[in-house]
Amino acid sequence: MNSFEIYKKRRDDVQTIYRSRLLTEILLSLNEDSRKLSQLREITGSTSQALIPKLRKLEADHLIETKGHEYFLTSAGKIVASGIAGSFVTFWTINKFKHFWIRHYIEGIPSPLLKEIGCLYDSEVLEDRGMEILNVYNNKLKMIKEADHIYGISSVVTEEYADSISERVKEGVPVELIVPLHIAEKLKQSLYLKKIEALKNYENFKLMAMNEDIKVGFIVTDKRLALSLYKKEGIEYDISTGLFSSDSKAIEWGERLFWYCKGKTALTKFQ
């Protein structure tokens, strides 16, 4: 049975929760922590008379339980509530940055990380505009200079970028970078090879080459995430627009993206 068939079969149960503001707000609130009735009144702006029937329904459905004077999610309730929370956050993340997503090749983000795109809700999109023609680039350089560790996929390379990385490596900052196939070929045939050779004995520096061209570029540090994508057709990398965040959930998402790419894509130590 696919998801559409499940929806048709159980839509009344699903719609009962989504159509009821109070049921949804109770579940989302308890997804964060246990609550007393007085706290639920304050959070929802509703009376006890309005809340109690909803609480009784959730108890009858074995989604919540009471201990003392507090309401808790059951194990099943945690699954339902986290699913509801995830669907809302995902929708609003797509909607909040819709102009960024529709202009870019979002398929470059691996599917498992796309499913967690809601982690990027507390972000901002920066663009090169007017006098700020290097706004995105300069923000990435600032990230590198302020980081205590650096991970990323480099889909573009410049001399200043390479020098910033080299400086941080020599200062002892752990750096792990993955370069797609076309960047690896460029590095082997240019002045960057000398810079790479100068870092080969630093144990805190790892440069890995892909055997393919992944359609995404990002830097994630202990303090910030910067995500850039290819333009809509997936041919040209967009250096003038990026999604930035200092939110812990976004940073963790970026780290998962890095480890996913490192683990799932065939890599070789850059020579």
Please write the tens of the pLDDT for every residue from 18-44.
778 999 999 999 999 999 999 999 999
pTM, rounded to two decimals: 0.84
| Helices first, then strands: H and E counts in the chain | 12, 11
* Residue 117 identity (one-letter amino acid): I
| 3 has pLDDT over 60 | no
Sign for the CA dihedral angle at 196, 197, 199, 203 comes to positive
Q: What pLDDT is recorded for position 4?
A: 59
Cβ–Cβ < 8 Å for 22, 44: yes
Residue 213 — very low, low, confident or very high, per pLDDT cuts 50/70/90?
confident
106 three-state secondary structure = helix
Cβ–Cβ < 8 Å for 240, 128: yes
Q: What pLDDT is recorded for position 19?
A: 79
Question: For the chain, which domains are there?
Answer: 3-86 (1.10.10.10), 106-269 (3.30.870.10)
| 152 has pLDDT over 60 | yes
Sign for the CA dihedral angle at 252, 97, 117, 261 comes to negative
| 226 has pLDDT over 90 | yes
| 130 has pLDDT over 80 | no
Q: What pLDDT is recorded for position 197?
A: 86
Q: Is 203 left (phi over 0), alpha (psi -120 to 50) or beta?
A: alpha
170-187 average pLDDT score? 88
Q: What pLDDT is recorded for position 12?
A: 66
Q: What pLDDT is recorded for position 14?
A: 63
- Residues 41-88 pLDDT 10s: 999 999 999 999 999 999 999 999 999 899 999 999 999 999 999 998
Q: Taking all residues of the chain, what is their mean pLDDT, rounded to a whole number?
A: 89
Q: What pLDDT is recorded for position 121?
A: 95
225-243 average pLDDT score? 93
109-132 average pLDDT score? 90
| 7 has pLDDT over 60 | no
| 248 has pLDDT over 60 | yes
Query: What tokens were used for 38?
Result: 């007085």
**What is the C-alpha to C-alpha distance for residues 248 and 253, in angstroms, rounded to an integer?**
9
153 three-state secondary structure = strand
Residue 104 — very low, low, confident or very high, per pLDDT cuts 50/70/90?
very high
172-191 average pLDDT score? 85
**What is the C-alpha to C-alpha distance for residues 149 and 108, in angstroms, rounded to an integer?**
24
217 three-state secondary structure = strand
Lowest mean pLDDT among 2-6, 69-73, 176-180, 222-226: 2-6
- List C-alpha distances in Å: 16 to 12, 19, 61, 134, 270: 6, 6, 12, 50, 56
